[in-house]
Structure 1
């Protein structure tokens, strides 16, 4: 058998938001799998992050009030933009060669009775 897996490196830009720093970071990293699947038409075996570079990290702070005057509280939202270098192990479908075999229709219905059985039921 021949080796069919191929390793490729790719840089993917993802962004995430959250109410805490770690939630924003986790939200961004969870998007890597979907981005790779959208770009590749091959079978993905493994996605391994190699390096993470922070392009932008922002903290938004605002004061929230109930009925415009009561119970003021400070709210914080975090936003991160990351460049993630990943090593992708995949099977390229274009390089695979399939043997072609002609077979009978696997979805065909075999008839449960033949000519002889029909005659016996009539008699």
Structure 2
């Protein structure tokens, strides 16, 4: 058998937000798989992150109040933008040759009653 898997490197830019720092990073890293699948029509075997570069890391703070006056508290939202270098192991569908076989319809029913009627008419 010939080897069909190919390894390619790619840099993907992802962005994530969350109420905590680790949730923002997790949100960004979870987008890698979907981004790779949208860009390629090949069969993806493995996606391995090799390097992560932080482009931006922002913290937005605001004061939240209950009924506009009571119980003020500070809240924060985190946003990160990352460049992630990934190594993608894939099977390129263009390189695989498929052998075509003609088979009868496996779900179809054989219709043989038409032949008997025609033979009957020809005999008369």
* TM-score, L = length of structure 2: 0.87
Instruction: Give aligned pairs, total.
Output: 113
Q: Deviations over 1:38-69 (max 9, x none)?
A: 00000000000000000000001110011211
Any stretches of 5+ residues in structure 1 without a counterpart?
A: 116-123
Range 100-109 or range 23-32, more displaced: 100-109
**Counterpart position of 1:80:** 80
SS of 1:29's equivalent in the other structure is: helix
Any stretches of 5+ residues in structure 2 without a counterpart?
A: 117-124
Q: Report 1:37-48 matches (<5 A).
A: 37-48=37-48
How many Å separate the matches in 2 of 1:24 and 1:37? 22
**Counterpart position of 1:29:** 29
SS of 2:33's equivalent in the other structure is: helix
Shift of 1:110: 4.1
How many Å separate the matches in 1 of 2:104 and 2:110? 12
Shift of 1:104: 1.3
* TM-score, L = length of structure 1: 0.88
How many Å separate the matches in 1 of 2:7 and 2:54? 24
Q: Deviations over 1:51-97 (max 9, x none)?
A: 00000000011100112111100001100000000000000011110
How many Å separate the matches in 2 of 1:32 and 1:46? 12
How many Å separate the matches in 1 of 2:2 and 2:71? 68
How many Å separate the matches in 1 of 2:68 and 2:101? 74
Q: Report 1:1-123 matches (<5 A).
A: 1-110=1-110
Shift of 1:3: 0.6
